[in-house]
Structure 1
Amino acid sequence: MGILSRASYVIRSKLNALLNRAEDPTETLDYSYEQMRDELQDVKQGIADLTTQKKRLEIQRRKLEENVEKHNRQAREAVQQDRDDLARKALEKKKSKMTQIEELEGQIAELENTQEQLVEKKNELQNRIEEFRTKKETMKARYEAAEASSRVSEAMTGVGDEMEDVGRSIERAEERTEEMEARAQAMDELQDSGAFEDALSDKDDLDRELESLSANSEVESELETLKGELGKSDGNAGNGSVEATDEDVDAELDDLEAELDDAEIEAELEELTDETDANGGSGGDTDVEAEVDVELEESEADADEPRN
């Protein structure tokens, strides 16, 4: 196979593949149906032309038959007038016209046979067209149903071109979203670490660190003030091995509150005892002690609630 032959074969194969992909069976069927209808129309037009030609020959034959009758009368009249020469000419014309009539009859017979054949072909072609039309509509319905089923299956399985584009769009959106979330977290981390300065603030890292130290010193100063008011010193703060947790601090505060409540109760008890002694009566000792016991129980219950 030569180079030109191979090139021609490759080009024809490529064109055939392109045509197969571009071909729509429904459009092809409709086009074939229209072509058959055009052929039927051509056959009908041919029958009409043939019939017209036959009618012209029949009209011409009729005229020739009329001329034959005319020449026959002329020959009779010439014979009656003893004009054999005129009668002979009339008969010669009559014979010529009769010969033409015979030829026309042969042509008319051929046209009639051709017309009958064309009519039969027209009827056969028309029947075939009707059958093809039925098959065409059936095939179109089957093809459209198969195409719809294929599209639904592709949509369900996600293997179609459109669904592939949708899947890629979703993947790109997820990647973009993850990238933005990571970026937002990175910005928050950098902002918290002080790597980025606030654009609306004129403070730098040194100013922020000094403010933090100032806040811690204020807390320590307030703590020392509280210790001074309570008569505590740093020497009783323990050996300073491990910093106390929030739970331990809360527990110690609860114990302090309970001790303060007990001290207040004892002070009240002493006041009641002094009042009793001042009244000089012993009969009220039992009632006072009962009231003191009730107040002690209530204070102990109140002191236990924060611990729980």
Structure 2
Amino acid sequence: MGIFSRLHDIINSNITAMLDKAENPEKIIRLVIQEMEDTLVEVRSDAARTIAEKKKLQRHIDIMHAEIGDWQRKAELALSKDREDLARAALKEKHNLENAAASMDMELEALEGQLVQLNQDTAKLQKKLDDAKARHKTMMMKQKTVSGRLRTREKLHDTRIDDALSRFETVEQKMEHMEGRVESFDVGRDPTLEDKFAELEAEDI
């Protein structure tokens, strides 16, 4: 199973559980990012182990090739001394080592293929993680803006504001009524000289 298939199963399982609990979307996004980060750490650990295995196998192959060359020299030495029996024994040892080395070469090739795949998977996962973090940041900014707008709308539609405005209008009406009563005393009579000076003095207050 590839890392993306495994990650997909883990995330789907956790998200389903959170949806059943009616968790908020922001918390779900954080979970997805956390799962991706954990998987990225796991993939990089796998890559580190594979690299170590490759280095160890390469050392064994190098040692084996040195031994193959050594048995080749021994076979040549035996032939120079007319010891065909020893030459054949040396060549047999060389042949066995060559078979073992060929098997190790195949194993090394497989490890190199795994490393290529791990590098590709790591790059893809890192890109998806960066994208998820950027989208999460955008979502949080949008949520903050929307929350602010919602609070403003709620205040605008708050009945307490309407009640306060209604009481304010009542006070205004009472003031207008009082002004009307004051002005009613002047109805039908001309202001005296003293009244006119009183008005002038009132304007300076």
Identity of paired residues, percent?
A: 22
**In 1, Cα distance between the equivalents of 2:19 and 2:54?**
51
Tell me by how many angstroms 1:30 deviates: 2.0
In structure 2, give the amino acid aligned to 1:53: E
Tell me by how many angstroms 1:140 deviates: 1.4
Residue 75 of structure 1 is matched in structure 2 by: 75
Residue 100 of structure 1 is matched in structure 2 by: 100
**In 2, Cα distance between the equivalents of 1:35 and 1:126?**
12
Equivalent residues in 2 for 1:1-308 (5 A)?
Answer: 19-20=21-22, 23-158=23-158
Moved more, 26-35 or 97-106: 26-35
In structure 2, give the amino acid aligned to 1:110: A
In structure 1, give the amino acid aligned to 2:34: E
In structure 2, give the amino acid aligned to 1:102: A
Structure 1 residues 17 and 49: CA distance shift in structure 2, 3 A? closer
SS in 1 for 2:46: helix
Q: Residues 45-97 of structure 1: CA distance to partner in whole angstroms, max 9, x if unpaired? A: 11111111111111111011011011111112222222222221111110011
**In 1, Cα distance between the equivalents of 2:156 and 2:42?**
50
**In 2, Cα distance between the equivalents of 1:16 and 1:108?**
44
**In 2, Cα distance between the equivalents of 1:152 and 1:115?**
55
Q: Residues 157-216 of structure 1: CA distance to partner in whole angstroms, max 9, x if unpaired? A: 348xxx9xxxxxxxxxxxxxxxxxxxxxxxxxxxxxxxxxxxxxxxxxxxxxxxxxxxxx
**In 1, Cα distance between the equivalents of 2:84 and 2:124?**
59
Higher RCO (C-alpha 8 Å, min separation 6): 2
Q: Note the residue ranges of structure 1 that are not aligned, 5 or more in a row.
A: 1-14, 164-308
**In 2, Cα distance between the equivalents of 1:139 and 1:28?**
12
**In 1, Cα distance between the equivalents of 2:125 and 2:19?**
33
**In 1, Cα distance between the equivalents of 2:66 and 2:56?**
15
**In 1, Cα distance between the equivalents of 2:128 and 2:19?**
31
RMSD over aligned Cα atoms: 2.4
**In 2, Cα distance between the equivalents of 1:62 and 1:124?**
34
Q: Residues 203-241 of structure 1: CA distance to partner in whole angstroms, max 9, x if unpaired? A: xxxxxxxxxxxxxxxxxxxxxxxxxxxxxxxxxxxxxxx
**In 2, Cα distance between the equivalents of 1:72 and 1:60?**
18
- TM (norm. structure 1) is 0.43
Is contact 2:18–2:28 with CA below 8 Å preserved after alignment? no
SS in 2 for 1:82: coil
Tell me by how many angstroms 1:145 deviates: 2.0
Tell me by how many angstroms 1:155 deviates: 3.8
Tell me by how many angstroms 1:122 deviates: 1.1
**In 2, Cα distance between the equivalents of 1:131 and 1:49?**
28
Tell me by how many angstroms 1:17 deviates: 7.9
Tell me by how many angstroms 1:16 deviates: 7.5
SS in 1 for 2:21: helix
**In 2, Cα distance between the equivalents of 1:125 and 1:77?**
57
- TM (norm. structure 2) is 0.63
Higher-Rg structure is 1
Structure 1 residues 132 and 16: CA distance shift in structure 2, 3 A? closer
Structure 1 residues 18 and 65: CA distance shift in structure 2, 3 A? closer
Tell me by how many angstroms 1:29 deviates: 1.7
The list of structure 1 runs, each at least 4 consecutive aligned residues, that deviate by more than 3 angstroms after superposition, is 15-18
**In 1, Cα distance between the equivalents of 2:63 and 2:155?**
78
In structure 1, give the amino acid aligned to 2:106: G
Tell me by how many angstroms 1:150 deviates: 2.2
